[in-house]
Chain A
Protein backbone atom coordinates (compact mmCIF):
# COMPACT_ATOMS: atom_id res chain seq x y z
CA UNK A 1 0.00 0.00 0.00
CA UNK A 2 0.82 3.69 -0.21
CA UNK A 3 3.11 3.20 -3.18
CA UNK A 4 1.90 6.30 -4.92
CA UNK A 5 1.51 8.32 -1.76
CA UNK A 6 4.60 10.38 -2.42
CA UNK A 7 2.97 13.68 -1.63
CA UNK A 8 4.98 16.82 -1.86
CA UNK A 9 3.41 20.30 -2.12
CA UNK A 10 5.67 21.22 -5.05
CA UNK A 11 4.85 18.04 -6.89
CA UNK A 12 1.17 18.54 -6.06
CA UNK A 13 1.31 21.96 -7.68
CA UNK A 14 2.77 20.52 -10.87
CA UNK A 15 0.21 17.72 -10.84
CA UNK A 16 -2.73 20.09 -10.33
CA UNK A 17 -1.45 22.25 -13.16
CA UNK A 18 -1.30 19.18 -15.36
CA UNK A 19 -4.85 18.18 -14.37
CA UNK A 20 -6.17 21.66 -15.15
CA UNK A 21 -4.53 21.49 -18.57
CA UNK A 22 -6.03 18.09 -19.24
CA UNK A 23 -9.50 19.33 -18.27
CA UNK A 24 -8.98 22.32 -20.55
CA UNK A 25 -8.05 19.93 -23.35
CA UNK A 26 -11.21 17.86 -22.84
CA UNK A 27 -13.26 21.06 -22.76
CA UNK A 28 -12.58 21.51 -26.46
CA UNK A 29 -14.43 18.30 -27.27
CA UNK A 30 -17.74 19.48 -25.79
CA UNK A 31 -19.95 22.51 -25.29
CA UNK A 32 -19.96 22.30 -21.52
CA UNK A 33 -18.24 20.47 -18.69
CA UNK A 34 -18.51 22.47 -15.46
CA UNK A 35 -14.91 23.62 -15.75
CA UNK A 36 -15.18 26.29 -13.03
CA UNK A 37 -16.52 23.74 -10.55
CA UNK A 38 -13.71 21.30 -11.29
CA UNK A 39 -11.00 23.94 -10.99
CA UNK A 40 -12.49 25.02 -7.70
CA UNK A 41 -11.81 21.65 -6.06
CA UNK A 42 -8.71 20.54 -8.00
CA UNK A 43 -6.30 20.74 -5.04
CA UNK A 44 -8.85 19.08 -2.71
CA UNK A 45 -9.46 16.05 -4.91
CA UNK A 46 -5.76 15.81 -5.76
CA UNK A 47 -4.86 15.74 -2.07
CA UNK A 48 -7.49 13.08 -1.37
CA UNK A 49 -6.22 10.76 -4.09
CA UNK A 50 -2.49 11.36 -3.81
CA UNK A 51 -2.01 11.85 -0.10
CA UNK A 52 -4.99 10.72 1.91
CA UNK A 53 -6.35 7.59 0.25
CA UNK A 54 -4.37 4.40 0.59
CA UNK A 55 -3.71 2.78 -2.79
CA UNK A 56 -2.14 -0.39 -4.04
CA UNK A 57 0.08 -0.43 -7.11
CA UNK A 58 -2.92 -0.89 -9.38
CA UNK A 59 -4.54 2.28 -8.10
CA UNK A 60 -7.19 0.39 -6.13
CA UNK A 61 -7.99 1.64 -2.67
CA UNK A 62 -9.58 0.31 0.49
CA UNK A 63 -10.78 3.87 1.09
CA UNK A 64 -13.65 5.52 -0.72
CA UNK A 65 -13.84 8.82 -2.53
CA UNK A 66 -17.34 10.12 -3.16
CA UNK A 67 -17.87 13.24 -5.25
CA UNK A 68 -21.12 14.54 -3.84
CA UNK A 69 -20.88 17.70 -5.97
CA UNK A 70 -21.05 15.48 -9.00
CA UNK A 71 -20.84 18.33 -11.49
CA UNK A 72 -17.20 18.84 -10.52
CA UNK A 73 -16.28 15.33 -11.64
CA UNK A 74 -13.89 16.31 -14.45
CA UNK A 75 -11.14 16.59 -11.85
CA UNK A 76 -11.95 13.07 -10.68
CA UNK A 77 -11.93 11.75 -14.24
CA UNK A 78 -8.51 13.18 -15.07
CA UNK A 79 -7.10 11.81 -11.81
CA UNK A 80 -8.59 8.38 -12.52
CA UNK A 81 -6.94 8.59 -15.94
CA UNK A 82 -3.62 9.42 -14.26
CA UNK A 83 -4.08 6.42 -11.94
CA UNK A 84 -4.84 4.17 -14.89
CA UNK A 85 -8.37 3.37 -13.80
CA UNK A 86 -9.78 5.27 -16.76
CA UNK A 87 -8.15 5.32 -20.20
CA UNK A 88 -7.32 8.18 -22.53
CA UNK A 89 -10.01 6.80 -24.78
CA UNK A 90 -12.54 7.10 -21.96
CA UNK A 91 -11.74 10.82 -21.73
CA UNK A 92 -11.67 11.21 -25.51
CA UNK A 93 -15.20 9.82 -25.62
CA UNK A 94 -16.46 12.05 -22.79
CA UNK A 95 -20.16 12.82 -23.37
CA UNK A 96 -20.12 11.00 -26.71
CA UNK A 97 -22.61 8.29 -27.70
CA UNK A 98 -19.99 5.56 -27.68
CA UNK A 99 -18.39 6.72 -24.41
CA UNK A 100 -19.18 5.90 -20.81
CA UNK A 101 -18.37 9.16 -19.04
CA UNK A 102 -20.88 11.97 -18.72
CA UNK A 103 -21.17 15.29 -16.90
CA UNK A 104 -21.89 13.52 -13.62
CA UNK A 105 -20.25 10.43 -12.09
CA UNK A 106 -21.99 7.16 -12.77
CA UNK A 107 -21.78 4.19 -10.41
CA UNK A 108 -20.34 1.25 -12.29
CA UNK A 109 -17.59 3.24 -14.00
CA UNK A 110 -14.11 2.45 -12.67
CA UNK A 111 -13.26 4.40 -9.54
CA UNK A 112 -16.73 5.90 -9.16
CA UNK A 113 -18.23 5.07 -5.75
CA UNK A 114 -21.74 6.38 -6.38
CA UNK A 115 -23.91 8.13 -8.92
CA UNK A 116 -24.20 11.77 -8.02
CA UNK A 117 -25.23 14.96 -9.74
CA UNK A 118 -28.50 15.55 -7.96
CA UNK A 119 -27.25 17.53 -4.98
CA UNK A 120 -27.80 16.50 -1.39
CA UNK A 121 -27.43 12.75 -1.96
CA UNK A 122 -23.73 12.21 -1.47
CA UNK A 123 -23.33 12.87 2.21
CA UNK A 124 -26.04 10.39 3.21
CA UNK A 125 -24.48 7.71 1.02
CA UNK A 126 -21.02 8.55 2.31
CA UNK A 127 -22.33 8.15 5.84
CA UNK A 128 -23.85 4.76 4.96
CA UNK A 129 -20.55 3.61 3.47
CA UNK A 130 -18.58 4.88 6.46
CA UNK A 131 -20.98 3.23 8.90
CA UNK A 132 -20.72 -0.08 7.01
CA UNK A 133 -16.90 0.15 7.10
CA UNK A 134 -17.01 0.85 10.82
CA UNK A 135 -19.50 -1.81 11.87
CA UNK A 136 -18.16 -4.53 9.58
CA UNK A 137 -14.60 -3.86 10.69
CA UNK A 138 -13.29 -3.24 7.19
CA UNK A 139 -11.46 -0.09 8.24
CA UNK A 140 -12.02 2.06 5.16
CA UNK A 141 -12.05 5.83 5.35
CA UNK A 142 -14.62 7.74 3.30
CA UNK A 143 -13.60 11.06 1.74
CA UNK A 144 -16.46 13.12 0.40
CA UNK A 145 -16.50 16.47 -1.39
CA UNK A 146 -19.63 18.58 -1.11
CA UNK A 147 -20.32 22.06 -2.44
CA UNK A 148 -21.36 25.02 -0.33
CA UNK A 149 -24.54 25.45 -2.39
CA UNK A 150 -25.35 21.80 -1.74
CA UNK A 151 -25.54 22.48 1.95
CA UNK A 152 -28.83 24.27 1.29
CA UNK A 153 -30.36 20.83 0.73
CA UNK A 154 -32.16 19.69 3.88
CA UNK A 155 -30.91 16.14 3.35
CA UNK A 156 -27.36 17.38 3.93
CA UNK A 157 -28.33 18.49 7.42
CA UNK A 158 -30.11 15.18 8.10
CA UNK A 159 -26.81 13.43 7.40
CA UNK A 160 -24.82 16.05 9.30
CA UNK A 161 -26.80 15.47 12.49
CA UNK A 162 -26.62 11.71 12.19
CA UNK A 163 -22.93 11.38 11.32
CA UNK A 164 -21.83 12.92 14.60
CA UNK A 165 -24.59 11.14 16.55
CA UNK A 166 -23.20 7.85 15.28
CA UNK A 167 -19.65 9.08 15.96
CA UNK A 168 -18.57 7.99 12.51
CA UNK A 169 -14.91 8.85 12.79
CA UNK A 170 -13.92 7.47 9.39
CA UNK A 171 -15.85 10.12 7.49
CA UNK A 172 -13.90 13.10 6.20
CA UNK A 173 -15.84 15.72 4.28
CA UNK A 174 -14.47 18.66 2.33
CA UNK A 175 -16.71 21.58 1.56
CA UNK A 176 -15.73 23.32 -1.66
CA UNK A 177 -16.66 26.72 -0.29
CA UNK A 178 -16.29 28.83 -3.42
CA UNK A 179 -19.18 31.15 -2.58
CA UNK A 180 -20.78 30.62 -5.97
CA UNK A 181 -23.77 28.76 -7.19
CA UNK A 182 -25.77 28.95 -10.42
CA UNK A 183 -27.64 32.10 -9.49
CA UNK A 184 -24.94 34.10 -7.80
CA UNK A 185 -22.95 34.37 -4.63
CA UNK A 186 -23.95 32.11 -1.75
CA UNK A 187 -22.95 34.81 0.72
CA UNK A 188 -25.54 37.13 -0.87
CA UNK A 189 -28.44 34.68 -1.09
CA UNK A 190 -27.69 32.92 2.20
CA UNK A 191 -25.77 35.23 4.53
CA UNK A 192 -27.00 33.24 7.52
CA UNK A 193 -24.96 30.28 6.31
CA UNK A 194 -21.92 31.98 7.82
CA UNK A 195 -19.88 31.37 9.88
CA UNK A 196 -19.63 27.83 8.56
CA UNK A 197 -17.10 26.06 10.77
CA UNK A 198 -18.98 26.95 13.94
CA UNK A 199 -22.11 25.27 12.63
CA UNK A 200 -20.34 21.96 12.22
CA UNK A 201 -18.68 22.27 15.60
CA UNK A 202 -22.13 22.89 17.07
CA UNK A 203 -23.35 19.71 15.39
CA UNK A 204 -20.65 17.70 17.11
CA UNK A 205 -18.23 17.48 14.22
CA UNK A 206 -14.57 18.25 14.21
CA UNK A 207 -14.29 21.19 11.82
CA UNK A 208 -11.63 23.49 10.47
CA UNK A 209 -11.24 26.04 7.69
CA UNK A 210 -8.33 25.99 5.27
CA UNK A 211 -7.21 27.57 2.03
CA UNK A 212 -8.71 25.08 -0.41
CA UNK A 213 -5.98 25.68 -2.98
CA UNK A 214 -3.18 24.97 -0.52
CA UNK A 215 -2.52 21.25 -0.78
CA UNK A 216 -0.32 21.18 2.30
CA UNK A 217 -2.95 22.91 4.44
CA UNK A 218 -5.63 20.49 3.24
CA UNK A 219 -3.57 17.45 4.18
CA UNK A 220 -2.44 18.86 7.50
CA UNK A 221 -6.03 19.61 8.48
CA UNK A 222 -6.96 15.99 7.97
CA UNK A 223 -3.90 14.64 9.74
CA UNK A 224 -4.55 16.88 12.74
CA UNK A 225 -8.12 15.67 13.22
CA UNK A 226 -9.39 14.48 16.57
CA UNK A 227 -10.28 11.08 15.16
CA UNK A 228 -13.28 10.33 17.33
CA UNK A 229 -15.89 12.05 15.16
CA UNK A 230 -16.50 13.06 11.57
CA UNK A 231 -14.37 15.86 10.18
CA UNK A 232 -15.52 18.79 8.05
CA UNK A 233 -12.76 20.64 6.24
CA UNK A 234 -14.25 23.89 5.02
CA UNK A 235 -12.08 24.76 2.03
CA UNK A 236 -12.05 28.39 1.00
CA UNK A 237 -11.82 28.19 -2.76
CA UNK A 238 -12.19 30.25 -5.90
CA UNK A 239 -14.52 29.06 -8.63
CA UNK A 240 -12.61 28.75 -11.89
CA UNK A 241 -9.30 28.92 -10.02
CA UNK A 242 -6.23 29.23 -12.23
CA UNK A 243 -7.69 31.05 -15.24
CA UNK A 244 -8.03 34.81 -14.80
CA UNK A 245 -11.17 35.27 -16.87
CA UNK A 246 -12.93 32.32 -15.24
CA UNK A 247 -12.36 33.17 -11.61
CA UNK A 248 -15.59 34.12 -9.87
CA UNK A 249 -17.46 34.52 -13.15
CA UNK A 250 -20.68 32.49 -13.02
CA UNK A 251 -20.88 31.50 -16.70
CA UNK A 252 -17.85 29.24 -16.18
CA UNK A 253 -19.93 27.08 -13.94
CA UNK A 254 -20.89 25.26 -17.07
CA UNK A 255 -19.59 26.43 -20.44
CA UNK A 256 -16.48 25.45 -22.37
CA UNK A 257 -13.88 27.98 -23.55
CA UNK A 258 -13.84 29.04 -27.20
CA UNK A 259 -10.63 28.28 -29.18
CA UNK A 260 -9.29 31.78 -28.40
CA UNK A 261 -10.20 31.49 -24.74
CA UNK A 262 -8.63 28.05 -24.73
CA UNK A 263 -5.30 29.44 -25.95
CA UNK A 264 -5.32 32.16 -23.32
CA UNK A 265 -6.13 29.65 -20.58
CA UNK A 266 -3.35 27.37 -21.75
CA UNK A 267 -0.85 30.20 -21.69
CA UNK A 268 -1.89 31.17 -18.18
CA UNK A 269 -1.48 27.57 -16.97
CA UNK A 270 1.92 27.30 -18.64
CA UNK A 271 3.01 30.57 -17.06
CA UNK A 272 1.96 29.31 -13.61
CA UNK A 273 4.87 26.88 -13.48
CA UNK A 274 7.54 29.24 -14.82
Chain B
Protein backbone atom coordinates (compact mmCIF):
# COMPACT_ATOMS: atom_id res chain seq x y z
CA UNK B 1 0.00 0.00 0.00
CA UNK B 2 2.88 2.34 0.79
CA UNK B 3 4.29 1.99 -2.72
CA UNK B 4 0.88 2.45 -4.31
CA UNK B 5 0.39 5.58 -2.23
CA UNK B 6 3.82 6.85 -3.36
CA UNK B 7 3.14 6.14 -7.01
CA UNK B 8 -0.26 7.84 -6.89
CA UNK B 9 1.13 10.84 -5.08
CA UNK B 10 3.95 11.04 -7.63
CA UNK B 11 1.43 11.12 -10.46
CA UNK B 12 -0.72 13.74 -8.72
CA UNK B 13 2.30 15.88 -7.89
CA UNK B 14 3.56 15.74 -11.47
CA UNK B 15 0.28 17.20 -12.61
CA UNK B 16 -0.14 19.76 -9.83
CA UNK B 17 2.79 22.01 -8.88
CA UNK B 18 1.02 22.96 -5.67
CA UNK B 19 1.71 19.55 -4.19
CA UNK B 20 4.70 19.45 -1.83
CA UNK B 21 5.88 16.42 0.13
CA UNK B 22 7.32 17.15 3.56
CA UNK B 23 8.87 14.12 5.22
CA UNK B 24 10.56 13.58 8.56
CA UNK B 25 13.61 11.49 7.77
CA UNK B 26 11.74 8.51 6.36
CA UNK B 27 13.26 6.58 3.50
CA UNK B 28 11.46 7.53 0.30
CA UNK B 29 9.74 4.31 -0.70
CA UNK B 30 9.01 3.54 -4.34
CA UNK B 31 8.06 6.51 -6.45
CA UNK B 32 8.71 8.93 -3.62
CA UNK B 33 12.40 8.63 -4.50
CA UNK B 34 11.58 9.45 -8.11
CA UNK B 35 9.67 12.51 -7.02
CA UNK B 36 12.58 13.58 -4.82
CA UNK B 37 14.96 13.36 -7.78
CA UNK B 38 12.71 15.00 -10.34
CA UNK B 39 11.23 17.72 -8.13
CA UNK B 40 13.78 18.36 -5.39
CA UNK B 41 12.31 21.72 -4.52
CA UNK B 42 8.95 20.17 -3.71
CA UNK B 43 10.38 17.34 -1.64
CA UNK B 44 11.48 18.59 1.77
CA UNK B 45 13.10 16.34 4.32
CA UNK B 46 12.97 18.29 7.55
CA UNK B 47 14.87 15.54 9.37
CA UNK B 48 13.84 14.13 12.70
CA UNK B 49 11.71 17.18 13.38
CA UNK B 50 8.03 16.31 13.20
CA UNK B 51 6.74 19.54 14.74
CA UNK B 52 8.51 21.41 11.97
CA UNK B 53 7.11 18.98 9.39
CA UNK B 54 3.55 19.94 10.32
CA UNK B 55 4.26 23.64 10.89
CA UNK B 56 6.07 23.99 7.60
CA UNK B 57 3.29 22.13 5.80
CA UNK B 58 0.85 24.62 7.35
CA UNK B 59 2.96 27.53 6.10
CA UNK B 60 3.06 26.06 2.60
CA UNK B 61 -0.72 25.62 2.66
CA UNK B 62 -1.16 29.22 3.81
CA UNK B 63 0.47 30.22 0.51
CA UNK B 64 -1.82 28.03 -1.60
CA UNK B 65 0.23 24.82 -1.72
CA UNK B 66 -1.21 21.35 -1.12
CA UNK B 67 1.33 19.65 1.15
CA UNK B 68 1.52 16.04 2.26
CA UNK B 69 3.29 15.48 5.59
CA UNK B 70 4.57 11.94 5.59
CA UNK B 71 6.11 9.63 8.13
CA UNK B 72 5.26 6.68 10.38
CA UNK B 73 1.82 7.24 11.92
CA UNK B 74 2.90 7.71 15.51
CA UNK B 75 5.39 10.38 14.47
CA UNK B 76 3.12 12.19 12.05
CA UNK B 77 0.22 12.52 14.48
CA UNK B 78 1.24 12.02 18.09
CA UNK B 79 4.59 13.78 18.31
CA UNK B 80 3.41 17.02 16.67
CA UNK B 81 -0.14 16.86 18.03
CA UNK B 82 -0.52 20.53 18.91
CA UNK B 83 0.74 21.52 15.46
CA UNK B 84 -1.79 19.20 13.86
CA UNK B 85 -4.55 20.63 16.03
CA UNK B 86 -3.70 24.34 15.86
CA UNK B 87 -1.83 24.81 12.60
CA UNK B 88 -3.95 22.43 10.51
CA UNK B 89 -7.24 21.88 12.36
CA UNK B 90 -7.84 25.33 13.82
CA UNK B 91 -6.76 27.09 10.63
CA UNK B 92 -8.59 24.47 8.53
CA UNK B 93 -5.78 24.10 6.02
CA UNK B 94 -5.73 21.54 3.19
CA UNK B 95 -2.79 19.49 4.41
CA UNK B 96 -2.72 15.70 4.30
CA UNK B 97 -1.06 14.10 7.32
CA UNK B 98 -0.05 10.63 6.22
CA UNK B 99 0.12 8.07 9.00
CA UNK B 100 2.08 5.23 7.48
CA UNK B 101 2.20 1.79 9.08
CA UNK B 102 -0.69 2.59 11.42
CA UNK B 103 -2.10 0.24 14.01
CA UNK B 104 0.28 -2.51 15.13
CA UNK B 105 1.78 -3.19 11.69
CA UNK B 106 5.27 -2.48 12.98
CA UNK B 107 4.93 -5.71 14.89
CA UNK B 108 8.57 -6.17 15.81
CA UNK B 109 9.36 -2.56 16.68
CA UNK B 110 7.42 -2.44 19.90
CA UNK B 111 4.78 -0.15 21.34
CA UNK B 112 6.68 3.05 20.62
CA UNK B 113 6.00 2.47 16.93
CA UNK B 114 2.34 1.49 17.22
CA UNK B 115 -0.56 3.86 16.65
CA UNK B 116 -3.56 2.18 18.18
CA UNK B 117 -5.39 5.39 19.14
CA UNK B 118 -4.90 7.47 15.99
CA UNK B 119 -8.50 7.48 14.79
CA UNK B 120 -9.69 8.70 18.19
CA UNK B 121 -6.99 11.34 18.38
CA UNK B 122 -7.31 12.65 14.83
CA UNK B 123 -11.08 12.32 14.93
CA UNK B 124 -11.37 14.48 18.04
CA UNK B 125 -9.95 17.50 16.19
CA UNK B 126 -12.61 19.71 14.62
CA UNK B 127 -12.22 20.09 10.82
CA UNK B 128 -10.03 16.98 10.60
CA UNK B 129 -11.15 14.36 8.09
CA UNK B 130 -9.93 10.77 8.19
CA UNK B 131 -9.37 8.30 5.38
CA UNK B 132 -8.28 4.72 6.01
CA UNK B 133 -8.14 2.71 2.78
CA UNK B 134 -8.24 -1.06 3.13
CA UNK B 135 -6.03 -2.12 0.23
CA UNK B 136 -3.64 -0.70 -2.38
CA UNK B 137 -6.46 -0.02 -4.84
CA UNK B 138 -8.47 1.96 -2.33
CA UNK B 139 -5.27 3.78 -1.37
CA UNK B 140 -5.10 5.11 -4.94
CA UNK B 141 -8.57 6.64 -4.66
CA UNK B 142 -7.91 7.97 -1.17
CA UNK B 143 -4.62 9.57 -2.19
CA UNK B 144 -6.19 11.18 -5.25
CA UNK B 145 -8.95 12.56 -3.07
CA UNK B 146 -6.40 14.08 -0.68
CA UNK B 147 -4.43 15.60 -3.55
CA UNK B 148 -7.42 17.31 -5.09
CA UNK B 149 -9.58 18.48 -2.17
CA UNK B 150 -9.52 21.97 -0.69
CA UNK B 151 -11.74 21.52 2.33
CA UNK B 152 -9.26 21.18 5.18
CA UNK B 153 -6.86 18.73 6.78
CA UNK B 154 -7.03 14.97 6.25
CA UNK B 155 -5.40 12.23 8.26
CA UNK B 156 -4.63 9.50 5.75
CA UNK B 157 -4.05 6.22 7.55
CA UNK B 158 -2.22 3.73 5.38
CA UNK B 159 -0.52 0.37 5.78
CA UNK B 160 3.02 -0.53 4.95
CA UNK B 161 3.78 -3.20 2.38
CA UNK B 162 2.38 -6.42 1.05
CA UNK B 163 -1.32 -5.79 1.67
CA UNK B 164 -3.51 -7.93 -0.64
CA UNK B 165 -5.92 -6.44 -3.14
CA UNK B 166 -9.41 -6.73 -1.67
CA UNK B 167 -11.48 -4.28 -3.65
CA UNK B 168 -10.94 -5.44 -7.23
CA UNK B 169 -14.50 -6.77 -7.35
CA UNK B 170 -16.06 -4.19 -5.07
CA UNK B 171 -19.71 -3.59 -5.79
CA UNK B 172 -19.34 0.16 -5.47
CA UNK B 173 -16.70 2.75 -6.31
CA UNK B 174 -14.84 4.77 -3.68
CA UNK B 175 -16.85 7.82 -2.72
CA UNK B 176 -15.50 10.08 0.02
CA UNK B 177 -17.80 10.06 3.04
CA UNK B 178 -19.77 6.97 1.96
CA UNK B 179 -19.61 3.37 3.07
CA UNK B 180 -18.45 1.08 0.31
CA UNK B 181 -19.98 -2.37 -0.11
CA UNK B 182 -17.39 -4.86 -1.23
CA UNK B 183 -19.97 -7.66 -0.94
CA UNK B 184 -23.67 -7.43 -0.33
CA UNK B 185 -25.84 -9.89 1.61
CA UNK B 186 -28.75 -9.67 4.01
CA UNK B 187 -27.87 -11.72 7.08
CA UNK B 188 -24.43 -10.80 8.36
CA UNK B 189 -22.67 -7.47 7.86
CA UNK B 190 -18.97 -6.98 8.55
CA UNK B 191 -17.86 -3.36 8.94
CA UNK B 192 -14.16 -2.63 8.87
CA UNK B 193 -11.52 -0.22 7.57
CA UNK B 194 -7.79 -0.20 6.95
CA UNK B 195 -5.56 -3.17 6.41
CA UNK B 196 -7.34 -5.36 8.96
CA UNK B 197 -10.01 -5.68 6.26
CA UNK B 198 -8.21 -8.86 5.19
CA UNK B 199 -9.58 -10.48 8.37
CA UNK B 200 -13.08 -9.33 7.45
CA UNK B 201 -12.76 -10.93 4.02
CA UNK B 202 -11.41 -14.13 5.51
CA UNK B 203 -14.32 -14.24 7.95
CA UNK B 204 -16.83 -13.51 5.20
CA UNK B 205 -15.45 -16.35 3.07
CA UNK B 206 -15.96 -18.80 5.94
CA UNK B 207 -19.47 -17.56 6.74
CA UNK B 208 -20.45 -17.66 3.08
CA UNK B 209 -19.09 -21.19 2.75
CA UNK B 210 -21.46 -22.07 5.58
CA UNK B 211 -24.30 -20.68 3.49
CA UNK B 212 -24.77 -17.32 5.13
CA UNK B 213 -25.52 -14.17 3.16
CA UNK B 214 -22.77 -11.68 4.04
CA UNK B 215 -22.11 -7.99 3.42
CA UNK B 216 -18.59 -6.65 3.71
CA UNK B 217 -18.27 -2.88 4.01
CA UNK B 218 -15.17 -0.73 3.80
CA UNK B 219 -15.67 2.26 6.07
CA UNK B 220 -12.73 4.06 4.46
CA UNK B 221 -13.94 7.51 5.50
CA UNK B 222 -13.74 7.41 9.26
CA UNK B 223 -14.57 11.12 9.47
CA UNK B 224 -17.05 12.34 8.47
CA UNK B 225 -18.59 8.96 9.20
CA UNK B 226 -21.41 7.83 6.93
CA UNK B 227 -23.99 7.74 9.66
CA UNK B 228 -26.90 7.12 7.32
CA UNK B 229 -25.01 4.25 5.69
CA UNK B 230 -24.35 2.65 9.07
CA UNK B 231 -28.01 3.05 10.05
CA UNK B 232 -28.99 1.26 6.85
CA UNK B 233 -26.48 -1.53 7.52
CA UNK B 234 -27.74 -1.95 11.09
CA UNK B 235 -31.34 -2.12 9.87
CA UNK B 236 -30.63 -4.38 6.92
CA UNK B 237 -28.81 -7.25 8.66
CA UNK B 238 -29.53 -9.65 11.51
CA UNK B 239 -25.98 -9.59 12.73
CA UNK B 240 -23.42 -6.77 12.43
CA UNK B 241 -19.74 -7.32 13.20
CA UNK B 242 -17.22 -4.48 13.55
CA UNK B 243 -13.54 -5.35 13.22
CA UNK B 244 -10.96 -2.62 13.70
CA UNK B 245 -7.29 -2.24 14.43
CA UNK B 246 -7.78 0.42 17.07
CA UNK B 247 -8.37 0.68 20.80
CA UNK B 248 -12.02 0.45 21.91
CA UNK B 249 -12.26 4.22 22.52
CA UNK B 250 -13.14 6.58 19.71
CA UNK B 251 -12.99 4.19 16.77
CA UNK B 252 -15.64 2.58 14.59
CA UNK B 253 -16.90 0.19 17.27
CA UNK B 254 -18.17 2.77 19.78
CA UNK B 255 -19.53 4.99 17.02
CA UNK B 256 -21.48 2.06 15.53
CA UNK B 257 -22.81 1.21 18.98
CA UNK B 258 -23.91 4.78 19.48
CA UNK B 259 -25.76 4.82 16.17
CA UNK B 260 -27.32 1.44 17.00
CA UNK B 261 -28.60 2.85 20.29
CA UNK B 262 -29.85 6.04 18.65
CA UNK B 263 -31.97 4.11 16.12
CA UNK B 264 -32.84 1.30 18.54
CA UNK B 265 -31.36 -1.23 16.15
CA UNK B 266 -32.67 -4.76 16.49
CA UNK B 267 -29.66 -6.61 15.11
CA UNK B 268 -27.01 -8.43 17.08
CA UNK B 269 -23.89 -6.27 17.26
CA UNK B 270 -20.39 -7.61 17.89
CA UNK B 271 -17.27 -5.48 18.01
CA UNK B 272 -13.64 -6.56 17.89
CA UNK B 273 -11.05 -3.92 18.69
CA UNK B 274 -7.51 -3.88 20.00
CA UNK B 275 -7.24 -4.12 23.76
CA UNK B 276 -7.06 -0.94 25.82
CA UNK B 277 -3.56 -1.81 26.87
CA UNK B 278 0.02 -1.74 25.69
CA UNK B 279 1.19 -5.22 24.93
CA UNK B 280 4.81 -6.23 24.85
CA UNK B 281 4.61 -9.04 22.31
CA UNK B 282 6.57 -9.30 19.09
CA UNK B 283 6.17 -11.37 15.96
CA UNK B 284 4.13 -10.93 12.79
CA UNK B 285 1.30 -8.46 12.33
CA UNK B 286 -1.10 -11.39 12.76
CA UNK B 287 0.69 -12.40 15.96
CA UNK B 288 0.19 -8.93 17.38
CA UNK B 289 -3.47 -8.84 16.41
CA UNK B 290 -3.95 -12.28 17.98
CA UNK B 291 -2.28 -11.06 21.17
CA UNK B 292 -4.88 -8.29 21.17
CA UNK B 293 -7.61 -10.91 20.82
CA UNK B 294 -8.28 -10.49 17.14
CA UNK B 295 -8.14 -13.59 14.94
CA UNK B 296 -10.70 -15.17 12.66
CA UNK B 297 -11.13 -18.31 14.83
CA UNK B 298 -11.67 -16.14 17.91
CA UNK B 299 -14.21 -14.00 16.12
CA UNK B 300 -15.99 -17.09 14.80
CA UNK B 301 -16.28 -18.55 18.26
CA UNK B 302 -17.61 -15.28 19.67
CA UNK B 303 -20.37 -14.52 17.19
| B-binding residues in A (CB < 8 A) | 107, 113-115, 118, 120-121, 123-133, 135-136, 138, 154-155, 158-159, 161-162, 166
Contacts of A130 in B (CB 8 A): 59
A124-B59, A132-B63 given; name 19 further pairs at CB < 8 Å.
A121-B87, A124-B51, A125-B62, A125-B87, A127-B55, A127-B59, A129-B59, A129-B62, A131-B44, A132-B59, A133-B63, A136-B17, A136-B64, A138-B63, A158-B52, A159-B55, A161-B49, A162-B52, A162-B56
In the bound assembly, the distance between CA atoms of A123 and B63 in angstroms comes to: 15
Contacts of B57 in A (CB 8 A): 128
Kindly report which residue of chain B lies nearest to residue A134, judged by CB atoms: B41
Contacts of A120 in B (CB 8 A): 51
- Interface residues contributed by chain B, number (CB under 8 Å): 29
Contacts of B64 in A (CB 8 A): 132, 136
A131 in contact with B86 (CB, 8 Å): no
What are 22 contact pairs spanning A and B, CB under 8 A? A114-B58, A114-B91, A115-B86, A118-B82, A118-B86, A121-B82, A124-B58, A124-B87, A125-B58, A127-B56, A128-B67, A129-B59, A129-B63, A132-B20, A132-B59, A136-B63, A136-B64, A155-B51, A158-B47, A158-B51, A158-B52, A159-B52
Q: Which of A124, A132, A135, A136 contacts B52 (CB 8 A)?
A: A124
Contacts of B55 in A (CB 8 A): 121, 123-125, 127-128, 155, 159
A128 in contact with B51 (CB, 8 Å): no
Kindly report which residue of chain B lies nearest to residue A165, judged by CB atoms: B47
Kindly report which residue of chain B lies nearest to residue A124, judged by CB atoms: B55
| A-binding residues in B (CB < 8 A) | 17, 20, 41-42, 44, 46-47, 49, 51-52, 54-65, 67, 82-83, 86-87, 90-91
Contacts of A124 in B (CB 8 A): 51-52, 54-56, 58-59, 83, 87
Q: B18 CB to closest chain A CB, in angstroms?
A: 8
Contacts of A132 in B (CB 8 A): 20, 59-60, 62-65
Kindly report which residue of chain A lies nearest to residue B86, judged by CB atoms: A118
Contacts of B47 in A (CB 8 A): 158, 161-162
B46 in contact with A162 (CB, 8 Å): yes
**Contacts A158-B46, A162-B56 known; A113 to B87 CB distance under 8 Å?**
no
In the bound assembly, the distance between CA atoms of A121 and B91 in angstroms comes to: 12
**Contacts A124-B56, A128-B57, A129-B63 known; A135 to B42 CB distance under 8 Å?**
yes
A128 in contact with B60 (CB, 8 Å): yes
In the bound assembly, the distance between CA atoms of A101 and B87 in angstroms comes to: 18
A154 in contact with B62 (CB, 8 Å): no
Kindly report which residue of chain B lies nearest to residue A127, judged by CB atoms: B56
In the bound assembly, the distance between CA atoms of A159 and B86 in angstroms comes to: 17
In the bound assembly, the distance between CA atoms of A158 and B51 in angstroms comes to: 8
Question: Nearest 6 pairs between A and B by C-beta?
Answer: A128-B59, A124-B55, A132-B63, A158-B49, A158-B52, A128-B56
**Contacts A115-B91, A121-B55 known; A128 to B83 CB distance under 8 Å?**
no
Q: A129 CB to closest chain B CB, in angstroms?
A: 4
In the bound assembly, the distance between CA atoms of A126 and B90 in angstroms comes to: 17
Contacts of B87 in A (CB 8 A): 114-115, 121, 124-125
**Contacts A114-B62, A121-B86, A162-B46 known; A131 to B56 CB distance under 8 Å?**
yes
Q: A173 CB to closest chain B CB, in angstroms?
A: 13
